[in-house]
């Protein structure tokens, strides 16, 4: 009897057997459909549609600074400035040689291997002394090509007149020019170049982020709703009211007690929070290229639209009238012939656009009329003038 009980117990279905039986009953197609729906719901979650705070705001004080300088590029293969037409290049060359112990005052300098250039750069935020950054070099005189040139030591100054970095190095020029006796070709801009890591930082900016107790966040695209949502998300994460929206652009952030003297840690924690951004209903029109960009919040009231083009073609085909052969009188004259055709293209019906339609419905309705970008610009402006378009139009 005990042997039979053990046999009954051994033949009872296990968890694996029950799961296999359940899968056989519902079928593999249903399982695949359930897995696909789960994956699709994960992809379409509102969290993934939202943006990170670090992508919609900038931190006050974390910014680049513009630098500029004037220098000389040497080593050009006869494509530099003509010293007669560029007196500043001549003066700079004479001054540089004098500092090196060479006196050229009054000499007849006629070199075409030197070019005066303007050097520009961006000083990165929190750049430390001894680190390097890129510089851009552009010809100032009548140089034809900077290919193969070397920039000599050039101080780069900021808006306050202080020297923050020094640039020097070989130029990388993307464009080129070639010329023959009867033809020439130019690709890109050969009078502009770049020196990667061509400047060494000599002065640091005095800004300590970690020791701040309060700072401000600035929205890249100002909006009241977005600013409030960001402040709400930060306060919900911290558990205290540390952030407040001051205006559509600015959010004031105070470091709570848990982040005392650790503003970097606070920013690194909150910048990964996601918020759903909002925007003003706006239409951007570039009449030069015919580009139209519409925001998702654009709405149109009930309105009827008709569009058509009137084309008038006038063709002149004059003919020559001559007298008959061996005629006693007559002369050759030109007989004018004019052909006028009137053609009306486009839809001949009024299309009704329903009230409060979405952006997709508006675009589909205009496309159904066979309207091109140029005519669509005129229609959008007419809708705005009629008060039926609930959006702001900006013409570039």
- pLDDT, one tens digit per residue, over 199-214 is 999 998 878 888 888 9
Identify whether the C-beta of residue 152 lies closer than 8 Å to the C-beta of residue 174: no
pLDDT band at 353 (very low <50, low <70, confident <90, very high): low
Q: Which residues contact 235 (CB under 8 A, 6 or more apart)?
A: 241, 242, 243
The two three-digit tokens of residue 343, written as one number: 């053609």
**What's residue 68's pLDDT?**
97
Q: Report yes or no: 210 and 260 within 8 Å, Cβ to Cβ.
A: no
Nearest to 136 by CA among 106, 184, 173: 173
Question: Which residues is 117 bridged to in the sheet?
Answer: 71, 139
Reported as a pLDDT band with limits 50, 70 and 90, residue 150 is: very high
- For residue 321, what pLDDT is reported? 76
* Two structure tokens written together for 373: 């970008």
pLDDT at 39 over 50: no
CB burial class (10 A; 0-12, 13-18, 19+) of residue 44? exposed
Q: Is the pLDDT of residue 1 over 90?
A: no
Distance from C-alpha of 369 to C-alpha of 379, rounded to nearest angstrom:
12
Confidence of residue 191 (pLDDT cuts 50, 70, 90): very high
pLDDT at 52 over 60: yes
At residue 49 the predicted structure's pLDDT band, cuts being 50, 70 and 90, is low
Nearest to 369 by CA among 349, 341, 384: 349
Q: What are phi and psi of 19, to 5 degrees?
A: -65, -40
Q: Looking at residue 320, what is its pLDDT?
A: 77
State which of 219-233, 292-306, 307-321, 339-353 shows the largest mean pLDDT. 219-233
Residue 390: band (very low, low, confident or very high) from pLDDT cuts 50, 70, 90: confident
Integer Cα distance of 61 and 156 in angstroms: 21
pLDDT for 33 beyond 50:
no
Q: Residue 345: pLDDT above 70?
A: no
Report the range of poorest mean pLDDT among 48-57, 130-139, 360-369. 360-369
The pLDDT score that the predictor gives to residue 300 is 75
pLDDT band, residue 66 (cuts 50/70/90): very high
pLDDT over 60 at 333, yes or no:
yes
Per mean pLDDT, which of 93-107, 176-190, 291-305, 361-375 is the most reliable? 93-107
| Mean of pLDDT values over 164-186 | 85
Instruction: Report residue 15 as tokens.
Output: 């968890």
Q: What is the mean pLDDT of residues 275-287?
A: 85
Query: What confidence tens digit (pLDDT) does each residue in 108-149 have?
Result: 788 889 999 999 999 998 889 999 999 999 999 899 999 999
Percent of the chain with pLDDT over 90: 36
Helices (H) and strands (E) in the chain, counts: 10, 25
Q: Residue 322 is encoded by which pair of tokens?
A: 């001559």
Distance CA 131, CA 205 (A): 13
DSSP string, 181-207: SS-EEEES-TTEEEEEEEEEE-S----
Confidence of residue 256 (pLDDT cuts 50, 70, 90): very high
**Mean pLDDT rounded to a whole number for the chain:** 79
Q: What is the pLDDT of residue 369?
A: 65
Q: pTM score, two decimals?
A: 0.65
The CA distance from 142 to 82, in Å, is: 7
Mean pLDDT of 269-295: 85
Retrieve residue 305's tokens: 């639209």
Query: Tokens 């303007």 sit at which residue?
Result: 118
Using 50, 70 and 90 to split pLDDT, how confident is the model at 251?
Answer: very high
Q: Range with the lowest mean pLDDT among 21-25, 76-80, 230-234, 368-372?
A: 21-25
pLDDT band at 359 (very low <50, low <70, confident <90, very high): low
């Amino acid at each position: 009897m005990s042997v039979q009980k053990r046999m009954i117990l051994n033949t009872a279905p296990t968890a694996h057997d029950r799961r296999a039986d359940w899968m056989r009953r519902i079928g593999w197609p249903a399982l695949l459909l359930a897995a696909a729906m789960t994956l699709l719901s994960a992809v379409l979650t509102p969290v993934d549609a939202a943006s990170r705070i670090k992508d919609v705001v900038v931190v006050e004080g974390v910014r680049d600074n513009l630098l500029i300088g004037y220098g000389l590029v040497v080593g050009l293969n006869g494509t530099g400035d003509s010293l007669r037409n560029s007196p500043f290049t001549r003066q700079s060359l004479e001054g540089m040689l004098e500092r090196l112990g060479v006196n050229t005052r009054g000499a007849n300098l006629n070199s075409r291997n030197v070019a005066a250039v303007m050097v520009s750069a961006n000083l990165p935020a929190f750049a430390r002394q001894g680190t390097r950054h890129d510089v851009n070099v552009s010809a100032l005189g009548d140089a034809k090509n900077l290919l193969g040139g070397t920039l000599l030591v050039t101080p780069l100054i900021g808006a306050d007149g202080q020297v923050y970095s020094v640039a020097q190095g070989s130029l990388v020029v993307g464009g080129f020019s070639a010329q023959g006796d009867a033809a020439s070709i130019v690709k890109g801009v050969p009078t502009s170049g770049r020196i990667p890591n061509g400047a060494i930082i000599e002065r640091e900016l005095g800004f300590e982020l970690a020791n701040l107790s309060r700072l401000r966040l600035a929205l890249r695209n100002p909006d009241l709703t977005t600013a409030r949502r960001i402040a709400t998300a930060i306060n919900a994460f911290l558990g205290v009211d540390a952030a407040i929206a001051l205006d559509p652009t600015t959010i004031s952030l105070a470091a709570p007690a848990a982040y005392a003297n650790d503003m970097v840690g606070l920013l690194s924690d909150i910048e990964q929070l996601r918020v759903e951004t909002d925007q003003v209903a706006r239409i951007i029109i570039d009449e030069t290229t015919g580009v139209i960009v519409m925001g998702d919040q654009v709405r149109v009231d009930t309105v009827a639209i008709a569009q058509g083009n009137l084309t008038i073609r006038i063709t002149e085909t004059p003919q020559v009238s001559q007298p008959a052969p061996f005629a006693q009188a007559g002369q050759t004259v030109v007989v004018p012939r004019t052909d006028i055709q009137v053609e009306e293209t486009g839809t001949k019906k009024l299309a009704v656009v329903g009230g409060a339609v979405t952006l997709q419905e508006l675009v589909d309705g205009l496309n159904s009329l066979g309207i091109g970008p140029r005519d669509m610009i005129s229609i959008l402006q007419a809708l705005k003038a009629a008060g039926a378009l609930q959006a702001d139009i900006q013409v570039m």
